[in-house]
Amino acid sequence: MRRIIRAAWPMAALAATFIVPTTAQAATATASGRAIIITPFEFIQVDDLAFGTIVPGPSNGTVTLDAFSGGRSTGGGVVALGGTGQRARFVGAGSDGQTVDVSLSAPPTLDDGNGNTMTMASLDLDGPTTRTIGPDLAFDVYVGGTLNVGANQTPGTYSGTFSLTVQYN
């Protein structure tokens, strides 16, 4: 036992002699904060539906955002560039155990402001159209969809609107 203690002690002392002090360094980053306060029986939009940056090809294609996961996929002649896109998010408040019926408007046509358009094939919810509010008194609704992209679609920023209606029961 004595030999182990003697062997461990000199190694610890030797390791301590090789520790070199370093100069402290600091870095600063900033971020913004945001809070949304809603009252019971209120329903608001929090995040927009964004298909992200894409490159059209010589053939028609699609971009799809999954309403459940927010995952983005492309098909046909479309290539997705960096980023992931973003599903729309809505938040509502009500009473514990209360049900709400959720309905979407028709998919919009997106326009670049110069007469060029793209149609949406679908808008999709992240769950059933009837939902039950839990004990936290709030609920989320996510919306995804599929965008039709034309062959050699004209470059630009395209936008359009849709609505989501909640009927409190």
> Is pLDDT of 23 > 70?
no
Q: Which residues contact 29 (CB under 8 A, 6 or more apart)?
A: none
**For residue 101, is it within any domain?**
yes
**For residue 33, is it within any domain?**
no
Q: Tokens 């390791």 map to which residue?
A: 15
- Residue 25 has what pLDDT? 75
Q: What is the pLDDT of residues 117-143, one digit of tens each?
A: 999 999 999 999 999 999 999 999 999
d(CA 165, CA 107): 14
Give me the number of domains the chain comprises. 1
Beta bridge partners of 164: 104
Q: What is the pLDDT of residues 28-41, one digit of tens each?
A: 777 778 777 777 78
- For residue 9, give the 3-state DSSP assignment: helix
**For residue 113, is it within any domain?**
yes
**For residue 96, is it within any domain?**
yes
**For residue 29, is it within any domain?**
no
